[in-house]
Structure formats: C-alpha cells, structure tokens
Amino acid sequence: MSATATYNPGTNILDVASNGLPSPVTYGSFPNLNNPNTVTEQDFDHDFTYRGGTFGIERTFDSNAFTQEGYAINITLSSADNTLLGDETTGMIRPGDNLLFKFSDGRHQKFVYNGTTFTSSNGYCWRSTDTNLQLVTNTSQYVSGTYTYYDQRNGRTETPLGAVGITANGVVVFNPSAGLGGNPPAGFNWNAHYEYSPVDFGDDSCGGHPEQTGQYHYHDTHFITCWNNNSIMSTYNDYYGLSQYNGDTLRHPDGHSKILGYSFDGFPVYGPYGYTEPFGVLTSIKTMRSSYQLKATEVAGRPAYGNSLANPAAGSFIQDWEYNEGLGDLDYHNGRFCFTPEYPAGTYAYFLSVTEQGDPGYPYMIGVTTREVIDQPANNGAQAPAAPPSGGDGEAPPATLNIASQPQNSTVNSGQTATFTLSVNIVPEDGPKTYQWYRSTDGGFAYSTLNGATSSTYQFTALSYMTGYKFKCVVAGPTGATPAQNSPLESDVATLTVTGTGGSTNNTFDNTNLTLDATTSRFDQT
C-alpha cells in the first residue's frame, strides 16, 4: 500500500492513509552531503474536511437580488451588511479581497473589492454608497436576478510550516519556507528550494527530501517530472492509467491537468495546466502562472543582492516575493475559482505554478495563505519518536504532564470576547511548556491549527456564526529537556455558544456538486 483515501459523504471528511514513501516514484539518495536524514516509513493517517466541488464559505447579504444596468451590477446593502465590508481591523471583507459571484443567469465571475475607492475596471467592485455595492463588468446589458457569493474571510490564515497537503502517492507537501533551517538572518526565512539560493537543503531531482523524523516530503513542482518518467504513475491506478494527453498521463485528453493531491483545507491540487477562461471548458489550455514576483527593491534589513551566503540572490528568502493582482492566472493562495473535468459545475482549486521555461514558479503549490483554514496533522503526520525510558532503580521517575484545570464551555454575546484557558503542570518537577490551540467548525470531526494561539489562554472576538465551534489545546513539555512520558497531552474539548445576532453570517457549503459518490476512493493499484 502506498496511499488510500476514504470519503464519508455524510460528514464531508476525507481520510488519507499512507506509508509516506513516494512509491512507485523513486527518490534521491539520503543521507547526502547537504541532508543528513534517512527516508523512513511514516504510517501516515490524517482526516480533514473535503471541499472539492465547492468554492469555500458561502456568504449572503440581507438581499440577494441584483440589477445590471450597462456595465455596472448593483446590489443593495442593508445597515447590517455594512459590517461585512470593513478594513484591516474588522476582519471582514476588505480591499484586495476576491469575491466570487454566481448569478442566476448562469454567469460566474470573480471581483476584487476596491473598498470605497471608485473603479471602472472590469472584475472590480466598490461600495459606491453606504447602501450600494457596485460590480463592474465588460458586458453591457440590462438584467436582474439573484446571486450567491463567496469571500476570502476564512482565507487569511498563514500557510503553516510543515505538512499542508498530500499528493496522490502519499507524500506530504510542505510550504516553500525552510523556517529557521539554514540559520537565515533575523526576520527572514530561506526559500527551501530556490534554484539560485546559496543554501542547499539536499533536495533530490523530485524536489523532495526527508526531515529529521525521516518523513520524505515535496516542496516544489519538480515531482511532476519524476511522476512522468516512463509514465510511472500510469501503473499506479486507473485514474492516471486509463487516459492521457499526448503521452502525458497526468493530463486529461483535453490537456487539462489531473488532480495530483489535496490541500489540507480540503481543496484539490492540480498540475500546471488549466482552461484559458476559468469558467470556459471549451476554451484552450494554458499553463497556470503564479501572480507572485520578485520585489523591485531589497527588503529593509536584508543583505544586499548577490550570489553568496553573505549576499544571497534575490528570491532566496520568502520575504523577497510579493503578490501582484492579475500578474498571472492564480490568486493570492496560488489557486482560482474555475471549472475542471472533475468538477464541471465549478470548484476552488490550487494549481502547481511553473515559469515560462517550465521551472518551478514561486510559491510552487500553495501560497502564503490558504483559501480556508488548514487542518494540519499533529507533528506533520510523521512517525512518533520512540517512547522515553520508563525509569528504574537509580533513575529519576519519568516526568508527567498534568492538566490541573481544563478549558470550559463558554457562552458570550456576539461581539464580545470569548476566552478559553487551561492550567498545566509537570510532576514531579515543573518546567517550561508549549501550547497550541485548535478549532473545529464542523462539530468536532476535524480540527485546524490556530496560528499564534500558543499560550495557556486563547481569546478572540466571538461572532454569531461561531456558535457551536469547538476548541482544544495540545500541550508539550518540558521544553529543552527529556519530554514527559505523556507529552504531548491533549485537553478536553470546550464548546462556544454565541448569543445575539451581531455580525451574523450564514456559513453553508454547497455540496450538490460533489463527484465522489462512492464511499471509498483508492489511490493504490487495487
């Protein structure tokens, strides 16, 4: 077995199990000069919310009616709707956000929100008055009807380090950053697989390498070449074996890329080829281009551009890159709303990005934030380290984590601060601990990491749509010493109840377009 996936249509949970090895694809030699780690089997098993065939979180204004007069589509806003259109401080829709509108006349179009600044550009929208949202198109007509839209409010979570997705052969995907690996200057992170970087992390020709646990993972798009070598993936299963495009088994007969894996926020990850028009299945095929570019000037505090470790080439750091709306085909997350062969009614999807020369194009697979919250596996899904010794004659007794007080259920009014806290000690001798809070929005089926929630207390502003959200904390310790025998330790689950209607939105998933109608989908040869 390399990888299997089981889908539960009742809960929208996709469970993926794998041995973590890239079979049937080969990989490089490890350890090597720049990577001291050995590839080992990981027995990976992780479940997460499946969102293929959807666009993410659906939102509604008080009125879902629109009227188009000429090139402008007008939507009437209520006073309550104005709370959804905010700025950096509100956490709601803000300038630069992409909004997908599905109109009752069959149109699908993405609009970039321009705030209160006038725009006459196709594909942009702005709040012309307190009671009117105006969307600009390139087609003049007179029509009215209804719409549904999807926003980026849940797309602000920074893509975490470590495993953020998994490919069809069971190898996990990491983001482009090497974290603090390679000892970068303060405030910077090495681009783990940048061709011109002076730091070599010992990756192989497939763009992968193992970490300290022995977990092999991909950082960039080089694995496509390895998968295509001798059409090796065509022997893996029928999905890759029964159809091809000019001998490329990773593409459909019309040239569109096949699904190569899934992000842990539930959306599919395609290869680099898609339809020229996102919602035009009869349009030509083109290579998907990232909308990221190198910054024109050096970031403050960065060593000068050069070609040495003291003066790394531009692009060597994650901080050297910036997003430029409309530069390429893909959005801030390195994906887009579109039709695909698997989802003819539409989906949000990530695409592998490559340059005009066919080389990996930053950010390679998933951008600096994800479309929805990543449900990251604990310890990246890597095999757990061996248990520490249990203690015996002449030895100190093993340390144990103890939760003295568990997080409690909380009921607050909408717009007020919700607080969850716990108290943990280590016996027989206390020591430093680490905390990580997690949140479930689906009744406890799947939990996502709350970035920055790394203390014993987690506080946030509660909104009405959050009622029923569940929270838990994972504690590890003591840090800097032999871990407690039960480290990491998971707290009880606490549930949030929000009263009142302030900030209320509807959170629904449109699951009518799901194409996985079987209870089990397999990636292996069986």
Q: Are 151 and 57 in contact (CB under 8 A)?
A: yes
* Model confidence band, residue 153 (pLDDT cutoffs 50, 70, 90): low
For the record, the structure tokens of 501 come out as 């209607």
* Model confidence band, residue 87 (pLDDT cutoffs 50, 70, 90): low
Q: Which amino acid is at 521?
A: S
**Position with higher pLDDT, 386 vs 382:** 382
In the prediction, which pLDDT does 61 show?
A: 85
**Selection from 334, 335, 330 nearest residue 347 by Cα:** 335
In the prediction, which pLDDT does 351 show?
A: 98
Residue-range domain boundaries for the chain: 65-150, 396-499
DSSP codes of every residue in 48-96: EE--TTS-S-EE--S--EEEEEEEEEEEE--TTGGGGB--TTT-SB-TT
In the prediction, which pLDDT does 89 show?
A: 58
Does the pLDDT at position 507 exceed 60? no
Does the pLDDT at position 455 exceed 90? yes
Does the pLDDT at position 510 exceed 50? no
Pairwise CA distance, residues 494 & 421, whole Å: 10
Contacts of 21 (CB under 8 A, 6+ apart): 2, 39, 41, 42, 170, 171, 216
**Position with higher pLDDT, 24 vs 387:** 24
Does the pLDDT at position 215 exceed 90? yes
**Selection from 477, 371, 481 nearest residue 424 by Cα:** 477
pLDDT per residue as tens digits for the range 264-305: 999 999 999 999 999 998 899 999 999 999 999 999 999 999
In the prediction, which pLDDT does 97 show?
A: 85
Q: What angle do CA 369, 374, 380 make, to 5 degrees?
A: 110
Share of the chain above pLDDT 70, in %: 91
Residue 350: beta bridge partners?
269, 335
Mean pLDDT score, 316-328: 93
Mean pLDDT score, 149-165: 83
Does the pLDDT at position 319 exceed 50? yes
CA distances to 34, 177, 197, 366, 402 from 181, rounded to whole Å, are: 12, 9, 13, 20, 32
Say what the pTM is.
0.72
| Cα-to-chain-centroid distance, residue 489 | 26
Does the pLDDT at position 232 exceed 80? yes
The CATH label, of 3.40.50.150, 1.10.1530.10, 2.60.40.10, 3.40.800.10, for the domain at 396-499 is 2.60.40.10
In the prediction, which pLDDT does 10 show?
A: 92
DSSP codes of every residue in 175-224: -SB-TTTT-PPTT--BBTT-TT-S------TTSEEE-TT--EEE-STTHH
Pairwise CA distance, residues 10 & 206, whole Å: 37
Mean pLDDT score, 120-148: 93
Average pLDDT of the chain to the nearest whole number: 87
* Model confidence band, residue 150 (pLDDT cutoffs 50, 70, 90): confident
Q: What does the DSSP 8-state code read for residue 401?
A: E
Q: Judging by DSSP bridges, how do beta strands 268-270 and 457-461 pair with one another?
A: unpaired
In the prediction, which pLDDT does 390 show?
A: 47
Does the pLDDT at position 513 exceed 70? no
Say whether the peptide bond before residue 31 is cis (omega within 30 degrees of 0).
yes
In the prediction, which pLDDT does 475 show?
A: 92
Does the pLDDT at position 423 exceed 70? yes
* Model confidence band, residue 5 (pLDDT cutoffs 50, 70, 90): very high
For the record, the structure tokens of 86 come out as 């905010």
